[in-house]
Amino acid sequence: MLSCHGYSQTLLGSRRHGHVRGSVRRGVRAAVQQPSALSSSPVKQDPFQNPKVYNDSAFDRLMITIFTKRLVDDMADEGQVVDIPSECSYEDLVRVSRAVMKGRTPEQQAAFVRRSMQTLAGGSGNIIGLYKRLLPPSQWTAELFCLVASLCFGWLVGESEAQSSPIQLGEYESSLQRRKISGGGFENSMGAGTQEQTLQQNAMIRVQRSVVKIKKCRYLEASGCVAICNNLCKTATQDFFLNDTGMPLTMKPNFEDLSCEMIFGQEAPSREGDEAFKQPCFVHHCSALEAKMEQEPKPCRQL
């Protein structure tokens, strides 16, 4: 049987232990609820750390050679000579792409590649003009371009797939939709203006399978160059599709994981409003010494 003194000591001890246990539990909860500054700032993974290895097929090698030679021939027409082998590798394509940039402004680089695309697509005359007449912008033509791009250009950009997504329609299709709605007889109904405006806004957005998701762009990974991506690929391709085929196209490169989206049917934003043109160089891959010496990242100087 415990004495009064022993009982009081036991009770006091249990309270002390309970207080300690409670403090420990509160400390653990605080540690869980308030992670350290180190854990709240995850380190970004270098997208170039594990380069993808490609085993080019005979078709891939043929297309790489045709495209590379087209660029070289067009440079020769302007007095610029670049030596290439009879069968070109992907490294030859990247080397020639760097040569295209020399002595040309970003606008001239994009225009140069667009002319090469025109030649490969049948020339800038009547043949290429058929695209606009036979394939005007619509849902099915956007999805057709998407399907062809996802199936036929793996040799250039790597693995890709067609996806469905809400699309902000280009001006051509939007104007058609607005005319249809304006002629729909809303003028005699109450709240006609608001209803028509809502319908017009909704008509400018449509879900369609016209997005090519490039999982990791081979061209960007091999070149490691933001300017090559934006000037020779993004701008040139957007201009080619919009101006030569009539199909609006927005290309959205992701410089963190090297993926990209080609959105057929959606017009590209202005250069000033496009985040891609605010992208700094990949410092460890850029040949420009200035980029490696900058204290704070700035948009690529060649954009």
Task: Report the pLDDT value the prediction gives residue 54, as an integer from 0 to 100.
Answer: 96
With 0-12 / 13-18 / 19 or more C-beta atoms within 10 angstroms meaning exposed / middle / buried, residue 41 is exposed
Is 9 a residue whose pLDDT tops 60? no
CA dihedral for 153, 156, 158, 161, sign (positive or negative): negative
Token pair of 51, please?
């380069």
Q: Give this prediction's pTM.
A: 0.77
Q: DSSP states of 62-78 as a string?
A: HHHHHHHHHHHHHHHHT
Mean pLDDT of 216-236: 97
Question: Domain-by-domain residue ranges, the chain?
Answer: 58-167+204-302
Mean pLDDT of 149-154: 96
With 0-12 / 13-18 / 19 or more C-beta atoms within 10 angstroms meaning exposed / middle / buried, residue 221 is middle
| pLDDT, the chain, mean | 81
User: Higher pLDDT residue, 217 or 292?
Assistant: 217
Type and span of the H or E element at 168: strand 160-168
Distance CA(224)–CA(218), nearest Å, equals 10
Is 189 a residue whose pLDDT tops 50? no
With 0-12 / 13-18 / 19 or more C-beta atoms within 10 angstroms meaning exposed / middle / buried, residue 290 is exposed
Mean pLDDT of 109-133: 86
Task: Report the pLDDT value the prediction gives residue 300, as an integer from 0 to 100.
Answer: 77
Distance CA(234)–CA(232), nearest Å, equals 6
Mean pLDDT of 212-224: 97
Using one digit for the tens of pLDDT, what is the confidence trace for 21-49?
444 445 434 443 444 444 455 667 888 98
